[in-house]
Structure 1
Amino acid sequence: MMVFAAGLGTRMRPLTNDRPKPLVEVAGKPLIDHALDQAQAGGARRIVANVHYFADQMVAHLAGRGVVISDESDEILETGGGLRKALPLLGEGPVLTLNTDAIWTGPNAIARLRAAWDPDRMSALLMLVPPDRALGHTGAGDFTCDEEGRLTRGPGYVYTGAQIINPAGIETISEEKFSLNLLWNQMIAEGRLYGIVHEGGWCDVGRPESIPLAEGMLNGG
């Protein structure tokens, strides 16, 4: 499983002036610890985290926790480039990925993705929420979804930052730094990008003002 932890956290300033965003605390616990709890409770065993901004802090925080480090301290590679660099550490086959800037309640997202994964039909399976349940998030959504769960671009559902993806084809992308959106676009063209909807709470913790929203959600507010 890949946990994305290398971002610059510019939207989270000033809290990220002296630390990486994954070490910003929500309800007394760093964001990355919330993500690792979600991952481990969902059955993820081998976990790789990429690091770049304040990489030394991230490495120290994760020391002794069984998390393998993918070092991007020289140059940040974005989600696609970061996943491609980490593949030798992750091993073969489909990969779970999880962003660290969200808080979850309700059914475990990782477990649900694993249970719904169908490699015969899918090249990626994304966890989604409707915009009216996307706390801390602005916008009309990223994807529309048909009756079978197949995704296309357009307003309708918000991507939560959790997915299973088959990285086959990632080596054909010429850019060194790129977003996974490029791979998703290929899958959409092939009719192989799918989504399911999270049944619990979700909060995008990308800005300081989202922290009290996430803490209220965790407290049942």
Structure 2
Amino acid sequence: MPQDPDALMLFAAGFGTRMGALTQDRPKPLIPVAGRPLIEHALAIADAAGIARRVVNAHYLADQLAAYLDGRGVAISHEQPDILDTGGGLRAALPLLGDGPVFTMNTDAVWTGPNPLTALYKAWRGDRMQALLMLVPADRAAGHDGPGDFALAPDGRITRGVGYVYTGAQIVDPSGLALIRQTAFSLNRLWDRIAADGGLYGTVHVGGWCDVGHPGGIAEAEAMLTHPPALLK
């Protein structure tokens, strides 16, 4: 099995309920931020990172998303009749993604600073890591409230705790998905298994990141893109 990722899973199947009226007639990835649909911000990051093989999962208003991506060289993993959540969605898309570890990224965030996928690739060590999550300090997580999702140890391993927010971008070895019985489940199930094996790691994004999962995040993201925060030292 190859140790380096060469394919990207873009999560785009959710109902976008936090967006309220904005997702009544379109899927969340097609909501515009700074003049471009959210999915375009994600694809631009993939372009800059040189990742040619991309898969998008689709469920809610899937026809709109598929039509928008038609001719773009993006494979669609249709989740029907039921939505599969992140873990089930990734497992269903594996035939399109190929063998070995993969990049995954949510499509409801925007970034400034170094390319997060490139940074993940540079930090990835497939001989000891089973997952590498891109994090931001909780006090730099624009559009996001709360003390964080993970604590980061000096050796790079992460555990459930506070201090850092998961940004939705990672490299993960999906082989453990085969051990989970449920059809629809969160990637948290896989991370817990990986953490128990000592293979769950994190790295910190030094630029800006904004959660655009709710209407207020749109204005915050546009402000961040106009005036990017200083890079972390």
What corresponds to 1:106 in structure 2? 113
What corresponds to 1:118 in structure 2? 125
What corresponds to 1:71 in structure 2? 78
User: 1:53–1:73: 8 Å Cα contact kept in structure 2?
Assistant: no
Structure 1 stretches of at least 4 aligned residues deviating more than 3 Å after TM superposition: none
In 1, Cα distance between the equivalents of 2:47 and 2:12? 16
What corresponds to 1:179 in structure 2? 186
In 2, Cα distance between the equivalents of 1:210 and 1:16? 14
Counterpart amino acid of residue 152 in structure 2: C
In 2, Cα distance between the equivalents of 1:138 and 1:37? 26
User: 1:126–1:196: 8 Å Cα contact kept in structure 2?
Assistant: yes
What corresponds to 2:164 in structure 1? 157
TM-score, normalised with respect to structure 2: 0.94
Deviations 1:105-157 (A, max 9, x none): 00000000011100111000000000110000011100001101101001110
User: 1:131–1:158: 8 Å Cα contact kept in structure 2?
Assistant: yes
Counterpart amino acid of residue 166 in structure 2: Y
Instruction: Please state how far the C-alpha of 1:182 moved relative to its aligned partner.
Output: 0.3
Any idea what SS the aligned residue of 1:122 has?
coil
Aligned residues: 221
Any idea what SS the aligned residue of 1:7 has?
coil
Any idea what SS the aligned residue of 1:213 has?
helix
Identity score, percent: 62
Q: 1:20 aligns with which of 27, 32, 47?
A: 27
In 1, Cα distance between the equivalents of 2:37 and 2:186? 25
Q: 1:206 aligns with which of 186, 207, 213?
A: 213
Instruction: Please state how far the C-alpha of 1:73 moved relative to its aligned partner.
Output: 3.7
Structure 2 residue 93 is matched with structure 1 residue 82: no
Counterpart amino acid of residue 66 in structure 2: V
Instruction: Please state how far the C-alpha of 1:42 moved relative to its aligned partner.
Output: 1.3
Instruction: Please state how far the C-alpha of 1:83 moved relative to its aligned partner.
Output: 0.3
Structure 2 residue 198 is matched with structure 1 residue 191: yes
Deviations 1:85-119 (A, max 9, x none): 00000000100000000000000000000111001
In 1, Cα distance between the equivalents of 2:177 and 2:102? 12
User: 1:55–1:73: 8 Å Cα contact kept in structure 2?
Assistant: no
What corresponds to 2:177 in structure 1? 170
User: 1:19–1:57: 8 Å Cα contact kept in structure 2?
Assistant: yes
Structure 2 residue 94 is matched with structure 1 residue 51: no
Counterpart amino acid of residue 69 in structure 1: I
Counterpart amino acid of residue 143 in structure 1: F
Any idea what SS the aligned residue of 1:144 has?
strand
In 1, Cα distance between the equivalents of 2:40 and 2:202? 25
In 1, Cα distance between the equivalents of 2:87 and 2:18? 21
In 2, Cα distance between the equivalents of 1:57 and 1:148? 44
TM-score, normalised with respect to structure 1: 0.99
Counterpart amino acid of residue 129 in structure 1: V
34-43 vs 55-64, greater mean Cα deviation: 34-43
User: 1:113–1:125: 8 Å Cα contact kept in structure 2?
Assistant: yes
What corresponds to 1:138 in structure 2? 145
Counterpart amino acid of residue 206 in structure 2: E
Give the unaligned 5+ runs of structure 2.
1-7, 229-233
